[in-house]
Every structure is written in structure tokens, then in C-alpha cells.
Amino acid sequence: MVFKSSHRSFSLASKAGYRCNLWCSFGRPPYPKTDLSSHHFKDGTSIAKFLNDRHKSGNITSNEAVYFFDCMIKMKPSPGMTSFTILLTVLAKNKQYDTVVSLFKRLNSNGLFPDLFVLNLLINCLCKMGITSGAFVVLGRILRSCFTPNTLTFNFLINGLCAEGRIMEAARLFKKLNVFACDPNVVTFNTLINGLCRTRNTLVALKLFEEMVNEFGAICKPDVVTYNSIIDGLCKDGFVDKAKELLLQMKDRNINPNVITYNSLICGFCCVDDWKEAKCLFIEMMDNGVQPDVVTFNAMINYNCKDGKMDKVNRLLELMIQRGVNPDTVTYNSLMDGFCLVGRISRARELFVSMVSKGCRHDVYSYNILINAYGKDQKVEDAVCLYREMLSERIRPSVITYNTLLSGLFQVGNLGDALKLIDEMQLNDVVPDSFTFATYIDGLCKNGFVLEAVQVFQAIRNCKCELRIETYNCLINGLCKMGRLKTACKLFHRLQHKGPIPDVVTCSTMIHWLCKEGQMDKANDLLLDMEAKNCVPSEVTFCTLLRGFVQNNKKSKVVVLLHKMAAEKLVVSDVSLSSKVVDLLSKDKKYRECLNQFRHLLF
């Protein structure tokens, strides 16, 4: 049952170190500094009237609420529960959730019994504090006190479960509402649908949405929030056509789409590379009087930057400024990325410098974009300078930052600085990923430190870190280059039984070195093995083997390979190799006739 497991989880959560134990350790909150000591009340009635008047005018602060609570709790007889409820409501509204829980404990110890409203308030506060399991303990108290939990009770609990990522528990609780003779309202559905969509359970959310429309339509109609949640979830999962259908449906139901609706759809269509539809939606929203915001413009600018269409980007930026929408850090990052993509790194650098004067702070993405551009342009010193700058700005580098810098340093043969950077990475508690390992091993191999790369490889495997096939590819190639083909073969064969599946690069590398060592039969067997395992050979694979057969005068094998290349619609793009194939086959009358049928492959 949900309630039993929740109670157990709550006990563990309390012991695990929330700043105060819920039921035992909450004391009175720090006494606030206040000038309210001038207020003197004869009895509970006078303070109740005073509080009621102040509450209606919205004039009670959190400090005042705690002060009045402290006064009231000492009164004999105590004021009615209504006055305490006002104070707790004020504190909850001001997000003083832990204070509400603390004061509730004092109510209990003074023999004051809360009503359902206060218990619901307590459930909400516990859920907001991330102690949803404790909220279920309060639900148990509601049931024992002969109160009937209402829709609000369950809305708070479902929201708490969703916030903690306990979506399936939230769904099970939703299904139990009928046990308590409690009908869900639009907030119940919206909360659960949003939770399901955020955890990529969009199709389950869609089913719930359809249930809401069909079964509860008479008492509970979807609103713009419902549609926004489900449309956003569908777009993020790539179901943009279904999302567009829901846009039309909400219009039919006279529910006006807002900027959030359009943003989800525009982002969705940009993600599936449908610029035409994204542009139509952008025009439609403006025609309908829905003003695009920074999210709208960022989605469209980012799409065009990724495509390198900087003229379109500039026009969008002009429109953005005309409409009074200020670019933010995300906008600048997209612009820098776009200019770097088209080779205008200096323009990207200008934007990087100017964005601060426009009130936009640099983030890790801003630095990563420029560091990556400098690395690709082999301006490694500039990239390292940016890295030092981001450290001075107290921006924590990401694993991508380090991977990019390592790749650049290894490329220019700066092994010493690369190794120092790995030490800094550890000092800054940045966890390396599979790309880090691949870059490290590849860098060592390409700089002639293959045996050191093997040691690093073994250390990584001993730590049971996951290694990608790219790491194996780097090491296999490095071993082959230094004449350790036998060791490389052992590593390759180990992959057949344990580790990542060899890809076309792995197999092509092995075929290349087997051919170079004259082991043509083994190379050919590996090609056949690739085909049997649905690892499609590339042009490089075929041409590598073809070159080996030509060098070894294997005419029949050459013809077989050419047939396979024709079937895969591949050509021999290496002019020198084409010429050698023609020379070999034209010398033998038996194979000379074959040249005509392979002419499109060779010329």
C-alpha cells in the first residue's frame, strides 16, 4: 500500500538529516525583531477581530504572524482555531513552510486540534519541503480524525509525488480517488499530466488527457494549462503532428493558445527540422495577438544558427529588438555558435565581449563554444586563455570543456599541458566521461606513447568505467602502428565476447593492418564476418581490402569485391587505386571483359 511505504520512507527521510525532525525536534522559530510589542489585547476575541481585519487588507507579514502566534498560544482561554489558521495561511503564502510545520507542532502540544483546512495546509507545506512521505502521515491523521479528505488534499499529495519524481505512485493515488468518493478537478489532471510529461511518459499522459476529455468532460474540462503540458510533452518526444492536432482542438474548444503553447510547438518543429511549419506558427501567433518572447526568438535563432544561415539570424535579431524583446545569454550563445560554424570566430568573440555590457552573464556554454572553435582552428593557446578566464570568473568548467581542450592540446603535440589539465580536472571534481578516456588514449597513441596508453586503458577497465568503442579503436590503431598487431588482434577478439560491439571503424582498422602485414585471408574473413553481423562495410573498408588484393595479384578476389561495392552503390574514389585495378584486370583476358560492367565504379 502507498501509505505504509510512505510512512517508512518518511521516517528514513527524517533521520537522514532534514534540518529538523518533523515531530520531535521543531522548536519555536527565531523570535522576530518587531515593533508589535505595543499591541495589547484583552482576550481572544479582540485579537481575532484585529487579525481578521489585517488579513482582509493583506497586511500581515511573516514576522508579525510568528509574533501573534506566540502571543495567542499563551492566552487562556486560547483564541479560536480561525485566528491560528489565518497566521499559518500567511506563513504558507510567504513560503515559510518549515515555520508552518514548527508552529503546527506547538498547536498540537497545547491541545489545539486543527481542522481539515489546516491539515491540508500542512500537507502542502510538507510537499513543498520535499517531505511528501511525511504528508502521507498527515493524511493518515486526517482519516483517523474522521475528516474526509477532499480534492485539495489529493492535489497537494499528487503534486508532491510528482515533484519528487514518484510519478507512478502519483498515478496510483489518482486511481484511488474514487475510493474516497473524491472527484478529480482540472488541477488534479494538470498536475499529473505535467508530471508524466516531464518524466517522458507522454503517451501515458495523452491517454489520461483523452480520459479527462471523454469521461470527465462534463465536470472537468481541460484548460490552457492542460493543453500546454501535453503539447510540450508531445513536442519534446518528437510527436509534433499530434501536438499540432491538439492546437487545432483547443481552438475548436474556444481555448486560446498563449505564448507557452506556441513556444512548445515552434521548438518542436525546429527540433524535427521543419522550419516551414515553425515559421508559419510564428506568423500565426503574431496574427492572433500573441507576443513572441525571448524563448520564441531563441528557438528560431538557434535553428538558423545551427544551419549557418546568419542572414536570417540577423533579420530575426532585428525583429526581436524592434518588438522590445531583449536578447539573453541563450541568444548570445546561439549567435556565437552560428558565427563559429561559418568560420567567423572573431565576430563570435566580439559578441562574447559585448554581451556583458548588455546585462548578459557568460555561462559555461559561452566559454565552451569559443574554446571549441579555437580548438578546431588549432588556436590552442587562445582556448587555454579562455579556460583560465572562466576559472577566474568562478564558472565551473564542464567535462565538455576539458574534452575540447585535451583534444586540442594532443592535436598540437602539447602532451605536458594535456597531462596537467587532466590533473586539474580531478582537482575540480569534474568526472571524466567516455569521450575523455577516448581523447586521452588517442592523444597518447598519436604522440607515440602507446604503452602508456595501454596502462591507462587497463587502469580505466580496472575501475569498471564504461568505455566506448571509440576508445578501443584508438588503442587498436595505436598498437598496430607500433607493430603490435598480435596484441591488437587479441584486444579485437576480446571485444567479440565482452565490451562494446565493434563498429565499421574497428573492423576497417583491423582490415587495413592485416592487409599491410600480408594477411589477406584473415582480412577477407573479417569482411565476411562484418557482413554476417550486419556491420555494413564502408567505401574505406572495401578500398583497403581491394588495395591489398591488387598488391597481392588476387584478381578473382578483386572482382568479388567490385561486385559487392556495386551492390552497395559504392565507388572507388581513389584515382590511383582505380588505375591499379584497371591495370591488373586488363592484363588477363579472363577478367578484361569485367571492366565494362565496373566502369561506373572505377571512372
Residue 270, domain member (yes or no): yes
* pLDDT, position 465: 79
DSSP state of 177: G
- Please, what is the angle between helix 364-376 and helix 329-341, to 10°? 10
This prediction's pTM: 0.78
What count of other Cβ atoms lies within 10 Å of the Cβ of residue 454?
19
Residue 450, domain member (yes or no): no
Read off the pLDDT band of 588 (50, 70, 90): confident
* pLDDT, position 6: 37
Q: Are 73 and 216 within one domain?
A: no
Distance from C-alpha of 302 to C-alpha of 295, rounded to nearest angstrom: 10
pLDDT digits (tens, 9 = 90+) for 547-581: 999 998 898 998 899 999 988 888 888 889 989 98
Residue 274, domain member (yes or no): yes
Domain that holds residue 11: 1-167
Read off the pLDDT band of 519 (50, 70, 90): very high
Give me the mean pLDDT over the 241-267 stretch. Answer: 96
Read off the pLDDT band of 363 (50, 70, 90): very high
Residue 74, domain member (yes or no): yes
Distance from C-alpha of 562 to C-alpha of 494, rounded to nearest angstrom: 31
Give me the mean pLDDT over the 267-292 stretch. Answer: 96
Q: Which of 262, 291, 320 is the last residue of a domain?
A: 291
* Measured CA angle at 510 (ends 509, 512), to 5 deg: 65
* pLDDT, position 5: 36
For CA atoms 210, 212, 214, 217, the dihedral sign is negative
Read off the pLDDT band of 165 (50, 70, 90): very high
Distance from C-alpha of 138 to C-alpha of 22, rounded to nearest angstrom: 11
pLDDT digits (tens, 9 = 90+) for 69-116: 888 888 777 777 888 888 898 899 999 999 999 999 988 888 788 899
Spell out the residues 6+ positions from residue 487 whose beta carbon is closer than 8 angstroms to its own: 479
Q: Are 345 and 339 in contact (CB under 8 A)?
A: yes
Q: Are 10 and 99 within one domain?
A: yes
Q: Are 148 and 282 within one domain?
A: no
| Helix H or strand E segment including 125 | helix 116-128
- Selection from 150, 166, 161 nearest residue 128 by Cα: 161
Number of domains the chain is built from: 3
For CA atoms 400, 402, 404, 410, the dihedral sign is negative
Residue 77: is the preceding peptide bond cis (ω within 30°)? yes
Q: Are 257 and 282 within one domain?
A: yes
Q: What's the full length of the chain, in residues?
A: 603
- Selection from 127, 146, 140 nearest residue 13 by Cα: 127
What count of other Cβ atoms lies within 10 Å of the Cβ of residue 258?
16
Q: Are 220 and 255 in contact (CB under 8 A)?
A: no
What is the domain-level CATH number for residue 249? 1.25.40.10
Q: Are 406 and 440 in contact (CB under 8 A)?
A: yes
Give me the mean pLDDT over the 244-251 stretch. Answer: 95
Residue 91, domain member (yes or no): yes
> Would you list the DSSP string of 186-238?
HHHHHHHHHHHHHTT-HHHHHHHHHHHHHHSTTT----HHHHHHHHHHHHHTT
Residue 585, domain member (yes or no): yes
Q: Mean pLDDT check: name the lowest of 227-231, 379-383, 530-534, 592-596.
A: 592-596
* pLDDT, position 47: 67
* pLDDT, position 45: 62
Q: Are 75 and 163 within one domain?
A: yes
Residue 129, domain member (yes or no): yes
Q: Are 190 and 159 within one domain?
A: no
Give me the mean pLDDT over the 390-396 stretch. Answer: 95
* pLDDT, position 17: 36
* Measured CA angle at 483 (ends 479, 489), to 5 deg: 55
| 376 exposure class (CB count in 10 Å sphere: 0-12, 13-18, 19+) | middle
Q: Are 444 and 453 in contact (CB under 8 A)?
A: yes
| 314 exposure class (CB count in 10 Å sphere: 0-12, 13-18, 19+) | middle
**HSE value, Cβ hemisphere, 13 Å, CA-based, for 178:** 3
Q: Are 220 and 184 in contact (CB under 8 A)?
A: yes
Q: Which of 142, 167, 192 is the last residue of a domain?
A: 167
For residue 22, pLDDT over 60 is answered with no
| CA distances in angstroms from 130 to 13, 127, 297, listed in the order given | 10, 5, 35
What is the domain-level CATH number for residue 83? 1.25.40
Q: Which of 137, 167, 197 is the last residue of a domain?
A: 167
* pLDDT, position 24: 35
Distance from C-alpha of 392 to C-alpha of 370, rounded to nearest angstrom: 17
Q: Are 503 and 469 in contact (CB under 8 A)?
A: yes
- Selection from 195, 210, 208, 200 nearest residue 238 by Cα: 200
Q: Are 172 and 203 in contact (CB under 8 A)?
A: no
Residue 528, domain member (yes or no): yes
Output 462-467 pairs: Cβ under 8 A, ≥24 positions apart.
Answer: 465/432, 465/434, 465/437, 466/434, 467/434, 467/437, 467/438, 467/499, 467/500
Read off the pLDDT band of 55 (50, 70, 90): low
Spell out the residues 6+ positions from residue 537 whose beta carbon is closer than 8 angstroms to its own: 504, 507, 508, 527, 530, 531, 564, 568
pLDDT digits (tens, 9 = 90+) for 400-438: 999 999 999 999 999 999 999 999 999 999 999 989 998
- Phi, then psi, of 522 in degrees rounded to 5: -65, -40
Q: Are 3 and 87 within one domain?
A: yes
Distance from C-alpha of 471 to C-alpha of 509, rounded to nearest angstrom: 13
Q: Are 473 and 509 in contact (CB under 8 A)?
A: yes
* pLDDT, position 44: 55
For residue 603, pLDDT over 50 is answered with yes
Q: Are 33 and 163 within one domain?
A: yes
Q: Are 116 and 215 within one domain?
A: no
* pLDDT, position 23: 32
pLDDT digits (tens, 9 = 90+) for 437-459: 989 999 999 888 999 999 998 88
Q: Are 77 and 121 within one domain?
A: yes
Q: Are 204 and 145 within one domain?
A: no
Q: Are 4 and 139 within one domain?
A: yes
